[in-house]
Structure 1
């Protein structure tokens, strides 16, 4: 990439500005609850900003352009599916979850299925979310390495330093404020770049030579497209990070409208990355797929737009890693470490949460270095499958039909379905791991379903 001094200055200024504002707002964080759920005072903009700021990461930008480079419009399913999931979350989940006054999904599951379910779901969710963080670390390391010429290991250290500045100090509040600013930068710059790419491509011989499947939202096949859509929806609905944003809302109604606002932001944001991916396939086919988007912004766009967009892309990766790490760190510290160590002091819990978040960031970078060159959206979809396969059905039953599933079978379902999904991946079965997990979940849940007791009647097992 032909990075100029002006490019570098614009990128550095954009990233430093947003991180600096996030650090400034972190001064008010004095408690564990303030760190993990922002003191439960967030309005609609902050809820939407924290949700969109996390989901618009490596998969929504770099990964979408990477997939569009090979398959065209069908790469849009990730952001489209995420937006649909947030609409469903706002309609059916947000008010119920915010009304509990809790901080994590495992805590909610504990209310319905006991401590074993809380601990097990923390582990399952953490593994799944970790893979999403990897999906943002992969392009983050590659971009920093390509722009600076540094070794990938050193680049990963720089990435962690930036994530620490973005999220580590201020937790949910920093993520929310940074998310709003990041989305403004991405919306303006990336949409301008995407429009320019499509305008330059449309009507050319290269445009006419593109395969018809590249113009079809179902170009990779209807079944695969629906599988990807379903995995994103199920995965998002079970993700601690997004539920944590709901818990940070000032009221249940605010939580619901924050989800709707996030959907309006997220759904269209994948389209400019799709346009850029198709442009690069036509005019620069030898580029490394994972660097499709940054290569276009540096080499084919104006310096101002390219620099701003690259700053926004880096912030999207940083924000996603930070938000996802915050979700994992909150679950591990609150649902596993705190019960084991019997921590009661709030400041100690805050320190443990921060250290756990830092450990997650480092682990995600190490996994990314070991898997350089892998497809970004592969990690996103695998993450969604593992989270959804193990948690989705017991979680949904707890939200809408509390008391209808026994504790023992809920725990068996979580463990068995997650194991089934992992085995399907390692064995290379020609079935989406999400579906394997959900089928196993249903099989394990059926013996534990019961008709909830109605006054004057008895329970009848099914």
Structure 2
């Protein structure tokens, strides 16, 4: 009788989690699609000019970077290496605060909603095309990782196969982007970000209560796990800072979000808000992973966060399940919208030259194509954090071009920019394929290569000009 009662309770718990998960997916998808009433042309789809306030855009800005890698992946890292893994996410705040000072007002004032369009004003159309392709590949790479992590969680919650979960995610996210545009994504991502925070706080609170009741569990945790440096080392911490700053400075979705604000000052405020809101996420997730090491010392590290579900009230589990789904959708929506903007503005519209009525529907169709593109690759991702940071490394070279454009324009030529970006992309991918030889992260290749090329280009031109005064710069 006791066994049967336990089975009934477990069945009730499963149905509550199932119901909460399904309801969450349906509600957020419908809410996101509801903005179709205000996305009747391409401009409103891509930027929603004057339709969103500073706080909404602040949440939009951070939404690409708070996916499964920032929660499940960071908790896994906390279980394995300790609190220092928190910096893989929390250093994003540094990127936002630097962006708010150096670039947000300048980018907003350009009147461009694609990073490739902004760079083309200085470097020309060839760089524009290469930047567009590089950024689209980087965003799709992030989505492949997000699909993989999200499908694993969704499959476990709904008791469906990984393949089925991938299609559920793809369909719901694509409907939101294709019909809601940036405003729909913004509204949906406010819900996703809120549930993400709520779920993380519930799990962290549960972990804290458990170790308070049984302090002896802390003996299972190595002392170094409580250090903010030990476990990863300074070279890795520096690589994370560079990758995160580079990603924010050059991400299509960030520019697209601040372009929706009417004034440069508003862009700066929204970026500061994004940094404040995103900073605690890495530490909360890592804390969960560290305490999981003490409470569940024998589990696989990837289960560091979901392992707490077995100890929680079913309704709290339902909320946390929704938070895990939110972590998946919040990234996918941002990346999918950004990739759609790039492909449409830099390839489809210049080649086809459609009218506005045709253009908005072509944009929706392109969003659907891009939404389903990651599916074939979603089961072959080597690891969430590793994949996320490779995608960020690809964008670091673009950041260097942006900084040269605004702060050293005399050193930035069309030819130098093109060669710098091309060599950086090839070098970064090659270094990644070789497994980061000598322990040097590919992010350093993405950072150093364009700087070296741009400086050499400048020095060579100066030398030529000194010898032949009649020769002018390539610009």
TM-score of the pair, normalised by structure 2: 0.89
1:36-90 superposed Cα distances (whole Å, 9 cap, x missing partner): 1123542112211212333211121121112112112122112211111111111
**Structure 2 partner of 1:201:** 211
**Structure 2 partner of 1:260:** 272
CA distance in 2 between counterparts of 1:291 and 1:330 reads: 36
After superposition, residues 53-452 of structure 1 pair within 5 angstroms as 53-201=63-211, 204-219=215-230, 220-296=232-308, 298-341=309-352, 343-371=353-381, 374-388=382-396, 390-428=397-435, 429=437, 430-449=439-458
1:323-345 superposed Cα distances (whole Å, 9 cap, x missing partner): 1011111111111222233x241
Task: Name the stretch that deviates more: 274-283 or 77-86.
Answer: 274-283
Tell me the secondary structure at the aligned position of residue 412 of structure 2: coil
CA, structure 1 residues 301+72, in 2 after alignment: closer, same or farther (shift >3 Å)? Answer: farther
CA, structure 1 residues 41+100, in 2 after alignment: closer, same or farther (shift >3 Å)? Answer: farther
CA distance in 2 between counterparts of 1:335 and 1:208 reads: 57
CA, structure 1 residues 170+155, in 2 after alignment: closer, same or farther (shift >3 Å)? Answer: same
The answer to whether the Cα contact below 8 Å between 1:166 and 1:319 also exists between their aligned partners in 2 is: no
Q: CA deviation at 1:459?
A: 9.3
Task: Name the stretch that deviates more: 120-129 or 269-278.
Answer: 269-278
Q: Does 1:31 align with 2:38?
A: no
Q: CA deviation at 1:436?
A: 1.1
**Structure 1 partner of 2:465:** none
CA distance in 1 between counterparts of 2:123 and 2:395 reads: 18
Q: CA deviation at 1:275?
A: 2.2
Unaligned runs of 5+ in 1: 452-456
**Structure 1 partner of 2:4:** none
Q: CA deviation at 1:404?
A: 3.3
CA distance in 2 between counterparts of 1:400 and 1:49 reads: 28
The answer to whether the Cα contact below 8 Å between 1:107 and 1:118 also exists between their aligned partners in 2 is: yes
CA distance in 1 between counterparts of 2:34 and 2:21 reads: 20
The answer to whether the Cα contact below 8 Å between 1:57 and 1:319 also exists between their aligned partners in 2 is: yes
Q: CA deviation at 1:193?
A: 2.1
Q: CA deviation at 1:354?
A: 2.6
CA distance in 2 between counterparts of 1:330 and 1:214 reads: 42
The answer to whether the Cα contact below 8 Å between 2:105 and 2:267 also exists between their aligned partners in 1 is: yes
Q: How many residues align?
A: 453
1:280-330 superposed Cα distances (whole Å, 9 cap, x missing partner): 22223444433432332x312222222112212212211211110111111
Task: Name the stretch that deviates more: 75-84 or 376-385.
Answer: 75-84
Tell me the secondary structure at the aligned position of residue 235 of structure 1: helix
Q: CA deviation at 1:142?
A: 0.5
> What root-mean-square deviation, in Å, do the aligned CA atoms of Structure 1 and Structure 2 show?
2.4
**Structure 1 partner of 2:7:** none
The answer to whether the Cα contact below 8 Å between 1:89 and 1:259 also exists between their aligned partners in 2 is: yes
The answer to whether the Cα contact below 8 Å between 1:206 and 1:282 also exists between their aligned partners in 2 is: yes
Q: CA deviation at 1:403?
A: 4.5
TM-score of the pair, normalised by structure 1: 0.92
CA distance in 2 between counterparts of 1:403 and 1:354 reads: 40
The answer to whether the Cα contact below 8 Å between 1:194 and 1:271 also exists between their aligned partners in 2 is: no
Tell me the secondary structure at the aligned position of residue 379 of structure 2: helix
The answer to whether the Cα contact below 8 Å between 1:32 and 1:346 also exists between their aligned partners in 2 is: yes
The answer to whether the Cα contact below 8 Å between 2:57 and 2:257 also exists between their aligned partners in 1 is: yes
The answer to whether the Cα contact below 8 Å between 1:386 and 1:433 also exists between their aligned partners in 2 is: no
The answer to whether the Cα contact below 8 Å between 1:14 and 1:312 also exists between their aligned partners in 2 is: no
**Structure 2 partner of 1:454:** none
